[in-house]
Amino acid sequence: MRQAELRREKNLSRNVLIVDDEPLNRALLGRIVGDRYNVLYAADGKEALDVIRENKDVLSLVLLDIIMPNMNGFELLAVLKGDAQLSKIPVIVLTSEKSAEIKSLELGAVDFIPKPYDMPEVILARVRRSIELSEDRNIIRATEFDPLTGLYIKEFFFEYCKEYDHYHPDEKRDAEVVNVNRLKTINELKGREFGDLILKTIAERIKEKAEEFGAIAARCDSDNFYIYTKNLPDHEAMLKDLSDYLKQKTGSSKISLRMGVYEDVDKNEVIEQRFDRATIALDSLKSGYSSVLAKYDSALHDKELFGEKLLGEIETAIEEKQFKVFYQPKYDVSGEKPRLCGAEALVRWLHPEHGMVSPGVFIPLFEKNALVQKLDRYVWKEAASQVKLWKDKFGYCVPVSVNVSRIDIFESDIESFLVNLIKESGLSTENIHLEITESAYTDDSSQLIKTVETLRADGFKIEMDDFGTGYSSLNMLTKLPIDILKLDMAFIRHMTENPGDRKMVKLVVDIADFLAVPTIAEGVESEDQLTILKDYGCKIIQGYYFSKPVPADEFEKFIKNDNCR
């Protein structure tokens, strides 16, 4: 039975290298460990180094004599210690000299076997234990690091930061979050392999500069890097260095890096909170190319506290109907006279203490904290109820579009919720349109498309909102299940003075014609903008030219004044 167990262990292909210039010693050790392990031999350090390099991926242990010709044991240990890959192979030193132990430990040896070899069971126990400890350490090491970049994963990163603070309590440190702007779009347009090259290149530069910055680094989420660094005088220079290196290595100047910084962190805060604050600074940047670095300061701190207050009040605000649904009309301008053809439902928060809170404040906050679903469903109910009221009052049903977030789409009950809402309201699916931003399609297009196709099969009209900002590929666009393209207002705003924006508008309208879907232009404010859009063939207009978003009772004037019934 014992021999069978030994053979099974040997079959696991653990390989042990015995390095000794005395043939008798090699043979003796080989007999001791050979029943359990596959044994390789070398007569000196130089020969051993060749064997180690050739077998580095399958070598479990080195048994190393110290006194040898050509290259002695100390010299070989020094070479192994200086090589990142070879240093991971455990080495047990074979020596009768007690004085050699300290130097061997300093050079990376894990244990000692004294000469002469008169206790085989002890030798086997030490060999086995050293191999097991090394394998366990390698397993732990593999879970510590992100396999793509070789940087720490978030959980181990936080632990190492805490450990560093423990031994350097008085050292000033900064928390940095570096983000690859629009990485998901880059993956969509250029392929994931190119996106992975970007991430690996950034990590490569961070590793090179880590010692200079006194930094610990991690890859967190798909497109963010966390860096815990000594207090730096010039974060802009560090970000520029990363950007220049990335441009040099990839040959692309169109990749934008952004950084959020929390300087001189408060060490009374937990490490996770320090990086949350750096992330808040990062999130304060617009998703563009004009601003690339932001620092956490008192203004952002006040904003953070205000945001936490709002997050805690959403349930009460919904129960008390503090959220008010406003409606902005849409007009069909294809005829001689504009005709009311729909509206968009837009939420406002009439806060009892702070007055009207901008949706630009609370909607991103709710999206980030996965609370926007509650708000969206509240708005859907309010809008459906209002459409039914108008239908009963005027005998005319104004189609109203409601916003659907990425979080909503991935809720398993979204179809049943919307279908039941329509039935309970006494409406049809044509009365409630669903607006989904273009960027949502690029995040997880396959799952989103599947859900949207199901909703379209139920009869809902799908509007792609903010078209032109998500950079969908044309190939992808032809596959998307949509009924209406809604042109982002950023192109409308400067259309009259910017030829580039006019060309983009014309291109979008042409794309919509190709897909046989109408185009809605939102954000229209002037007669000149309206004229250009009509000339280009855009049929539906939304914006301040006709009206700002208004409460439901004020919107009724558009229904009364319209001649389309």
Domains of the chain from N-terminus onward:
2-144 (3.40.50.2300), 154-296 (3.30.70.270), 307-549 (3.20.20.450)
* Backbone dihedral angles phi then psi of residue 425, each to the nearest 5 degrees: -85, -10
Give the per-residue pLDDT at 10.
Answer: 47
Mean residue pLDDT of the chain comes to 87
Give the per-residue pLDDT at 104.
Answer: 87
pLDDT digits (tens, 9 = 90+) for 189-199: 788 899 999 99
pLDDT digits (tens, 9 = 90+) for 3-28: 444 444 444 568 999 999 999 999 99
pLDDT digits (tens, 9 = 90+) for 496-549: 888 888 888 888 888 888 888 888 999 999 999 999 999 999 999 999 999 999
Q: Is the pLDDT of residue 103 over 90?
A: no
**Whole-angstrom Cα distance, residue 105 to residue 93?**
9
> DSSP H helical segments within 340-430, as ranges?
359-368, 372-394, 406-409, 414-425
**Whole-angstrom Cα distance, residue 398 to residue 382?**
14
Give the per-residue pLDDT at 533.
Answer: 92
Give the per-residue pLDDT at 387.
Answer: 96
Q: Which residue has the tokens 């902005």?
A: 328
Q: Return the higher-pLDDT residue of 468 and 315.
A: 315
Least confident of 250-254, 337-341, 384-388: 250-254
Q: Is the pLDDT of residue 439 over 70?
A: no
Beta bridge partners of 323: 349
Give the per-residue pLDDT at 445.
Answer: 64
Binning pLDDT at 50, 70 and 90, where does residue 217 land? Answer: very high
pLDDT digits (tens, 9 = 90+) for 251-298: 887 788 999 999 999 999 999 999 999 999 998 886 545 578 999 988
Q: Is the pLDDT of residue 304 over 90?
A: no
pLDDT digits (tens, 9 = 90+) for 22-63: 999 999 999 999 988 999 999 999 999 999 999 988 899 999
> What is the CA angle 352-355-360, rounded to 5?
120
Q: Is the pTM of this model over 0.95?
A: no
Asked if 345 contacts 376 with a C-beta cutoff of 8 angstroms, the reply is: no
Binning pLDDT at 50, 70 and 90, where does residue 565 land? Answer: very low
Asked if 177 contacts 226 with a C-beta cutoff of 8 angstroms, the reply is: yes
Binning pLDDT at 50, 70 and 90, where does residue 340 land? Answer: very high
How many Cβ atoms from other residues are within 10 Å of residue 446's Cβ? 6
Q: How far is CA 35 from CA 15, 90, 172, in A?
A: 12, 20, 56
Asked if 62 contacts 91 with a C-beta cutoff of 8 angstroms, the reply is: yes
Q: How far is CA 131 from CA 16, 92, 383, 468, in A?
A: 9, 10, 67, 58
Binning pLDDT at 50, 70 and 90, where does residue 440 land? Answer: low
Least confident of 97-106, 121-130, 191-200, 226-235: 97-106
How many percent of the chain have pLDDT more than 70?
92
Give the per-residue pLDDT at 7.
Answer: 46
Give the per-residue pLDDT at 204.
Answer: 93
Give the per-residue pLDDT at 365.
Answer: 87
Give SS3 for 250.
helix
Q: How far is CA 423 from CA 191, 415, 461, 483, in A?
A: 43, 12, 16, 22
How many Cβ atoms from other residues are within 10 Å of residue 103's Cβ? 15
Ramachandran assignment for 297, one of left (phi > 0), alpha (psi -120 to 50 degrees), beta (any other): beta
Give the dihedral sign, CA 485/488/494/500: negative
Give the per-residue pLDDT at 353.
Answer: 93
CB proximity list for 270: less than 8 A, separation 6 or greater: none
Query: How buried is 175 (Cβ within 10 angstroms: 0-12 exposed, 13-18 middle, 19+ buried)?
Result: buried
> Stretch 299-319: mean pLDDT, rounded?
90
